[in-house]
Structure formats: structure tokens, C-alpha cells
Amino acid sequence: MTSAENKNGSLLLAIETSCDETSAAIVRDGRTVLSNIVSSQIETHRRFGGVVPEIASRKHVESITMIVQEALTEAGVSRQNIDAVAVTQGPGLIGALLVGVVAGKALAMAWDVPLIGTHHIAGHIYANRLIGEIVYPALALVVSGGHTELVLLPEEGVFRIIGRTRDDAVGEAYDKVARALSFPYPGGPHVDKLAWQAEEEIALPRAWLEEGSYDFSFSGLKSAVLAEINRAKMKGLEPSFAALARGFQNSVVDVVTTKAMRAASEFGARQMLLCGGVAANRGIRERLAALCEAAALPLLVPPMALCSDNAAMIGAAAELKWRRGQFSTLDLAASAQVSLEEWSV
């Protein structure tokens, strides 16, 4: 349903269950986090080398009620104080999303408050508003396990995707390379750490794609790492994992930061936003910070706790809809693929 624009402040209960974190948060006015409870399933999935969707869904079912109650308790509020329930409707693992959407619907109906279906990537982008003001037009570099995108925000709550990955996302590429380097899941942080420790580098290709393209491709880079490992083994040599990690990371960092800065210049961005789980990567954070400083372009980067999937970011994005009275009906459907541009306010 849609009502007149809401001028008052908000206190939102937000729920996030798009993958393997069960999270609930209480967020005031889309800016102040009163609680942000996150239950990670990393240890559960580690033995399988990646997220098992069915297991993730079952774990969400087991913990969602407790996590919501803990969020209310830590924030010191009761259900009577809640103005609306925000929930991630997609994208993500459909079974995992369904748990959160059903819980959100049930709470909204039981408490007689509006329901706000929220886009997962909008949440990652607006996690930045929990730490500072966003200046428009802004450019968001989204780097996560399932997404690598350049998103232009010409104004508040409006999203225009100008580049996206054509195959593996950055996080997927890191995890696949990590497996090749014998690291456990999740492997991205191990590759990042090893890259910084390396004294040498094995140069690897950069996939720039067509001239002027803002899209990304990392499958060829992943294959290049595997080829280097096989080449060394065929010669009876031990592959230099550290040098490979450094070469891989430098290739990824060069491509994503160069394209982000070029897009910021072309579209007249007044601020750069870094977001998504891989925003915790030291290589990307430090290179982008240096480039933005040289270009006198302000940069916002969430703290580590707000980079990974969490409900506070969902509350921050949902407040955009709350202020405009743009609420969801109780037939809201979870969707593995939801358009960010269509979700725009």
C-alpha cells in the first residue's frame, strides 16, 4: 500500500536473511543503529567449502525468532515502539529469503504496522549513510560475494546500474582462487592477507573488456591463476602461492578501482561509496582511498561490521521508502533476482 509522505521520524525493525547470516536490527531514522544482531553460519558451511542453500534456510528458521527478540531487547524497545518492519526481499538465495520475508510479514500483520520490502544491494549502498552524509550525485562501487556493480545515484534513493560483472563476482573469484591456493572457506580474507605478505608478484592479466565498458569479468583471471599452478606442477616446482595471491589481488584492484574512478569522472560524481562484503578487502580499500584523495573526491566506506550482510543496512535503505509512505502489501514475494533500478523510490 502507499500512503502520503511520512514527515515523522521512524523506528524500524529490519530483517536480513539473504544468504548465510541471520540478522535483525533496530534503526532510528535510517541513521542511528540501536541494535544490530548478526548470527553467522560460517562454521556450519566451512566443511562444505561454501554455502549450502538448504542448510542455510534451515538455520534461518532455527534462529530468526531469537534474533528478532535479541534485537528488541538490546535496543531497549518493545514491539509497541516499532513503526514498520523492513525485510530483504532479494536478491539472494530464495529459500533463505523466504524465511525472512515470511517472518517480516507475520510480524507486520501481528503488530499492525507497515511492511517494507527492501533490496539487498540498496542496503549495502545505504550502509554508508549510517556513518555519514551521502552527497549526490554519488557513485557506488559494490563488491560482494554475489555482486560486482557500479551504481550511479543521481539523487537520493534512485539507482542506475552502469556496470556489472558478466561472470564471477569479485567475492566468488576470491573464494575460487582461495580454494586453488588451499585456503578454507571463506577464502577471500586469506588471499588478501597473503597478498600483502608477498615479496614477489606473478603478473596476471587484466580484463578491461571493450573500450569504454564499465562491466567486469573475472573468470579469465581465475583461469590464469589455475594455469600458473598447473604450469609450475608440470615442471616439478612448488607454485608460489604468495606471488600468485599478490598478482591476483593487484589485477582485481586495478580493474575495479580504475573503472570506478573513470565512471566517477564521466558522470560527475561528488562522492564515492564503497560497499559490500568485499569492501573489507584491504587492497581495494587502500587503493580506492588513495585514488579518491588524489582526485579530491570524498570517499565513504562502512566499518567492517557494516560491510558484511547485516540488518542495520536494510533499515537504512528501508527508511527511504518509509518517508515516502511506499509500503509493501502482504503478498510481497521473495525473489532471487530483484531489479535495483525498479526498487528506486
Question: Does residue 1 register a pLDDT over 50?
Answer: no
* Residue 9: pLDDT band with limits 50, 70, 90: confident
Q: Give backbone dihedrals phi and psi of 209, rounded to 5 degrees, phi first.
A: 65, -155
Question: Does residue 7 register a pLDDT over 60?
Answer: no
Distance between CA atoms of residues 28 and 40, nearest Å: 24
Tell me, letter by letter, the H, E, C secondary structure of the chain. CECCCCCCCCEEEEEECCCCEEEEEEEECCCEEEEEEEEECHHHHHCCCCCCHHHHHHHHHHHHHHHHHHHHHHHCCCHHHCCEEEEEEECCCHHHHHHHHHHHHHHHHHHCCCEEEEEHHHHHHHHHHHCCCCCCCEEEEEECCCCEEEEEECCCCCCEEEEEECCCCHHHHHHHHHHHCCCCCCCHHHHHHHHHHCCCCCCCCCCCCCCCCCCECCHHHHHHHHHHHHHHHHCCCCCCHHHHHHHHHHHHHHHHHHHHHHHHHHCCCCEEEEECHHHHCHHHHHHHHHHHHHCCCCEECCCHHHHCCCHHHHHHHHHHHHHCCECECCCCCCCCCCCHHHHCC
Supply the mean pLDDT for the chain: 93
Q: What is the mean pLDDT of residues 91-116?
A: 97
pLDDT at 123: 97
Lowest mean pLDDT among 45-49, 249-253, 276-280: 45-49
Domains belonging to the chain, first-starting first, are 11-126+307-343 (3.30.420.40), 136-301 (3.30.420.40)
Q: Using an 8 Å Cβ cutoff, are 17 and 96 in contact?
A: yes
Strand-pairing partners, residue 21, are: 40
pLDDT at 6: 45
pLDDT at 64: 97
Q: Give backbone dihedrals phi and psi of 132, rounded to 5 degrees, phi first.
A: -175, 175
Give the three cell numbers for residue 135.
552527497
Distance between CA atoms of residues 151 and 125, nearest Å: 9
Q: What is the mean pLDDT of residues 50-66?
A: 92
Distance between CA atoms of residues 281 and 277, nearest Å: 8
Q: What is the mean pLDDT of residues 14-34?
A: 97
Of 315, 309, 336, nearest to 116 by C-alpha is 315
pTM exceeds cut of 0.75? yes
Q: What is the mean pLDDT of residues 206-234?
A: 94
Name the percent of the chain lying above pLDDT 90: 84
Peptide bond into 303 cis (omega under 30): no
Strands of 21-28's sheet in order across: 32-40, 21-28, 11-16, 84-90, 115-119
Give tens-digit pLDDT for 110-138: 999 999 999 999 999 999 999 999 999 99
